[in-house]
Amino acid sequence: MKAEHSITRSSFVENAILTIAALLIVGTLILLPLLVILHAAFQEGFKVWLASVTDPDALSAIWLTLGVTAIVVPLNTLFGIATAWTIAKFRFKGRTLLLSLVDLPFAVSPVIAGLIFVLIFGRQGWFGEELIERGIKIIFGFPGIVLATLFVTFPFVARELIPLMTEQGSEEEQAALSLGATGWQTFFKITLPNIKWGLLYGIILCNARAMGEFGAVSVVSGHIRGETTTLPLHVEVLYNEYHFTAAFACASLMAGLALVTLVIKTIVEMRSNEQF
């Protein structure tokens, strides 16, 4: 008994130290910056904040970001499901290679990712001359931003689904097929319901990154104000031009988006734990 007591007591002290350390780290690294952003954003009052985020350039940046996200997230959801399906449910040559390729965007620095697209589609790139001849502008334009964001956010959905689908195996699908279901019926009635929470989680993460991506987009966008600056780029531009309050106002908007994402993510996690 005595020994047990001393174990619990010492572990109580350890727990307390660990908890305090965790709180300190979270506080300084995450909470404090968030408070600083909010403080700086509303320093000169709500009116100034509102003016900053409704400035034509800011509005255009918001719309551009939303537009890019609206294209990238559905596409990467489709790609992610297809890739995860292939990797999880089939054994084929080159499977491991495909698995590593999925991780490539995580491994490569976003700036390099942006540069890759410049090298392919830019003026001096592989397809540069041909694209100029036909008057198609990819780099320093909307298509370039979409491409770069697609690349960077590709792994989120696939990475979330691969372990889930591997663990679930394909027996339920085989059972559905043996009962006479078609391939599409099997997908919509069996596969999709089984992965829905994992999928939603992947989509949320993909969405958060698509809105916040800076490095890759910065390389391909060309920073044309009111045209090719996304919200994160707009923050940078404002900051570099010493419009601190406006910069922080836009940053607070992004922080708000992040918080909303976090809340949805937590709800999804809770629901998915209830499910299984």
Partner 1 sequence: MSITIQNVSKTFGTFKALQNINLKVASGSLTALLGPSGSGKTTLLRIVAGLESVDEESGGEIHFDGSAVTANPVNQRQVGFVFQHYALFRHMTVFENIAFGLKVKPRKERLSKEEIKDRVFELLKLIQLEQLADRFPSQLSGGQRQRVALARALAVQPKVLLLDEPFGALDAQVRTELRRWLRHLHDTIHVTSLFVTHDQEEALEVADSIVVMNKGEIEQVGAPNEVFQNPATEFVMKFLGDVNVFHGRIHDDRGVFTDEHKGGDENVRLLVRPHDLDIRLSPGEGVSLPAKVYRVLIIGPLVKVELLNSQNQLIQVQISHETYQMTPVKADQQVYLVPKSSRVYGDGAVDYAI
What residue ranges bind partner 1 (CB under 8 A)? 171-172, 174-182, 185, 189-190, 193-194, 275-276
User: Between 11 and 275, whose beta carbon lies closer to partner 1?
Assistant: 275
Q: Give the residue with the Cβ less far from partner 1, 131 or 176.
A: 176
Q: What are phi and psi of 181, to 5 degrees?
A: -70, 150
Query: Smallest gap, in angstroms, from Cβ of residue 165 to partner 1?
Result: 14
> What is the closest distance, in whole angstroms, from the C-beta atom of residue 88 to partner 1 in the complex?
16
The CA R_g of the chain, rounded to the nearest whole Å, is 23
CA distances from 165 to 87, 110, 156, 197, 261 (A): 9, 28, 15, 12, 24
Report the distance separating Cα 222 and Cα 185, nearest Å. 46
What minimum distance in Å lies between the beta carbon of 272 and partner 1?
12
Closest separation between CB of residue 193 and partner 1, Å?
5
3-state secondary structure of 46: helix
Report the nearest approach of partner 1 to the CB of residue 100 (Å): 22
Closest CA relative to residue 68, chosen from 145, 137, 138: 145
What is the per-residue DSSP string for 195-225? HHHHHHHHHHHHHHHHHH--HHHHHHHTT-T
State how far the Cα of 87 lies from the Cα of 165, in Å rounded to an integer: 9
Residue among 178 and 240 whose Cβ is closer to partner 1: 178
b/e for 247-270, b at 16 or more Cβ within 10 A? bbbbbbbbbebeeebeebeeebee
Q: Which amino acid is at 276?
A: F
Count Cβ atoms within 10 A of the Cβ of residue 220 and give its class: 0-12 exposed, 13-18 middle, 19 or more buried.
buried
The least CB distance from residue 93 to partner 1, in Å, is 11
Least distance from C-beta 188 to partner 1, angstroms? 10
Distance CA 1, CA 215 (A): 59
Under a CB-based contact definition with an 8 Å cutoff, are residues 222 and 140 in contact?
yes
